[in-house]
Amino acid sequence: MSNLDLQAIIRSLKTVLPNDKESIALHEPSFCGNEWKYVKECLDTGWVSSVGKFVDKFEAMLADYTGVKQAVAAVNGTAALHICLKLVAVEQGDEVLVPTLTFVATANAVTYCGAIPHFVDSEERTLGLDPWKLLEYLSDIANVRDDGCFNRLTSRRIKAAIPMHTFGHPVDLDPLVEMCSRFKLALVEDAAQSLGSYYKGGHTGNWGKVSALSFNGNKTITTGGGGAILTNDEELGKQAKHLTTTARVAHKWAIVHDHIGYNYRLPNIDAALGCAQLEQLPGFIKEKRTLSESYRKVFEGIPGVHFYTEPDFAKSNYWLNVLLLDERFSNHRDVLLEMTNNDGIMTRPAWMLMHKLNMFKDCPKMDLSVAESLERRLINIPSSATLMS
């Protein structure tokens, strides 16, 4: 059995990365469009806060780009997810199916509703929720009744499933849609990482009853902090807007609220940044896909390591590029992380799996062996859109 050639991996990285920089970030934003102009307009006019024309414009541009009926801007992706779960009526004591390989916000949003995350496994082909393994598991443990789906082991209702498009790569949505309808589960897409990613020709976020986007600083486009709720259901879209804007009843001067709403509004000055960023998104995606193609080529010939490429049904934004070590070399992961970071090349492991975090360790879960293997072997490498320009 040969050894993993760590020097060859680092050499390959350096072939692709620019050599005139002291350090290279994992993902940094780029502001080369109308950012200054639009933000200046907010300052000049005084429209900086929670209403303004850029909020409306940003929502319209998002709906247009993703092909959904309605997009509702929110203060961040986690808040958007929280509202998504409210909209599909996730309640106190419900269980919600969440991949254990995800960013903590997916599981946190479930707990904000008083519900319990139920962790499910991933598949190596997509790095996301495995619909076939989940189908088999649910057939085993779930009881579908007129009033919903129930976990035989905990007697709790299983209300929804939140597939997440890991590092921008779409999960296999068709079988998931089928499974959710069979088990009476609401489908919510955590599309926080997948703006610009398509499944069988349609933009991610169109399959869930509602979906969430994020515009955090490290995402494909950024508003500083921000997010959005996407839906093709006009009624849910209206409710999303209402709930995120303190549930105030429209009136010329009276200040009346008809629900316990949330102040999850995206400020106009952030939306201004978002409009300028969205204008550049097609260019960012093109550059990111060119970068990933370069990575694919240089890692082709190196044994023991594999550059992850999109599944054949998808066109991915390649938000964060992924190297996967062969299982037999998983004990080299930390050495490689150490060497690259010491060398000014920012690399990161996957998030610690949700079921291993202290606050979630007692949550229900299925066999998670694929996600556990991915966690041992996965390394994210520099992925900024402007890295090669």
Q: Work out how close the CB of 348 gets to ligand PLP at its nearest, in angstroms, rounded to a whole number.
A: 13
Q: Please give the Cα distance from 248 to 115 (Å, whole number).
A: 26
Q: Work out how close the CB of 11 gets to ligand PLP at its nearest, in angstroms, rounded to a whole number.
A: 30
Q: Work out how close the CB of 128 gets to ligand PLP at its nearest, in angstroms, rounded to a whole number.
A: 10
In the complex with ligand PLP, the residue whose CB is nearer, 190 or 375, is 190
Q: Work out how close the CB of 183 gets to ligand PLP at its nearest, in angstroms, rounded to a whole number.
A: 23
Q: Please give the Cα distance from 210 to 191 (Å, whole number).
A: 10
In the complex with ligand PLP, the residue whose CB is nearer, 189 or 299, is 189
Chain positions contacting ligand PLP, by CB under 6 A: 76-78, 81, 102-103, 105-106, 164, 190, 192-193, 214, 216, 227
Q: Work out how close the CB of 80 gets to ligand PLP at its nearest, in angstroms, rounded to a whole number.
A: 7
Q: What is the SS3 assignment for 202? A: strand
Residue type for position 20: D
In the complex with ligand PLP, the residue whose CB is nearer, 90 or 192, is 192
In the complex with ligand PLP, the residue whose CB is nearer, 65 or 141, is 65
Continuous H helices in the chain: 6-16, 35-45, 53-66, 77-87, 104-112, 131-141, 173-182, 234-244, 268-299, 333-342, 369-377
Q: What is the SS3 assignment for 149? A: strand
β-bridge partners, 157:
150
Q: Work out how close the CB of 130 gets to ligand PLP at its nearest, in angstroms, rounded to a whole number.
A: 17
In the complex with ligand PLP, the residue whose CB is nearer, 81 or 186, is 81
In the complex with ligand PLP, the residue whose CB is nearer, 9 or 275, is 275
Q: Work out how close the CB of 106 gets to ligand PLP at its nearest, in angstroms, rounded to a whole number.
A: 5
Q: Report how far apart, in Å, the C-alpha atoms of 109 and of each of 28, 162, 228, 250 are.
A: 26, 11, 14, 28
Nearest Cα to Cα of residue 272 among 220, 205, 212, 224: 224
Q: For 231, left (φ over 0), alpha (ψ -120 to 50), or beta?
A: beta
User: 10 Å Cβ neighbour count for 367?
Assistant: 11
Nearest Cα to Cα of residue 240 among 99, 117, 88, 366: 88
Nearest Cα to Cα of residue 164 among 28, 354, 27: 354
Q: Please give the Cα distance from 303 to 242 (Å, whole number).
A: 54
Q: Work out how close the CB of 104 gets to ligand PLP at its nearest, in angstroms, rounded to a whole number.
A: 8
Q: Please give the Cα distance from 4 to 333 (Å, whole number).
A: 10
In the complex with ligand PLP, the residue whose CB is nearer, 81 or 291, is 81
Q: Work out how close the CB of 191 gets to ligand PLP at its nearest, in angstroms, rounded to a whole number.
A: 9
Q: Please give the Cα distance from 228 to 230 (Å, whole number).
A: 6
In the complex with ligand PLP, the residue whose CB is nearer, 142 or 273, is 273
In the complex with ligand PLP, the residue whose CB is nearer, 93 or 224, is 224
Is residue 364 within 8 A of residue 93, CB to CB? The reply is no
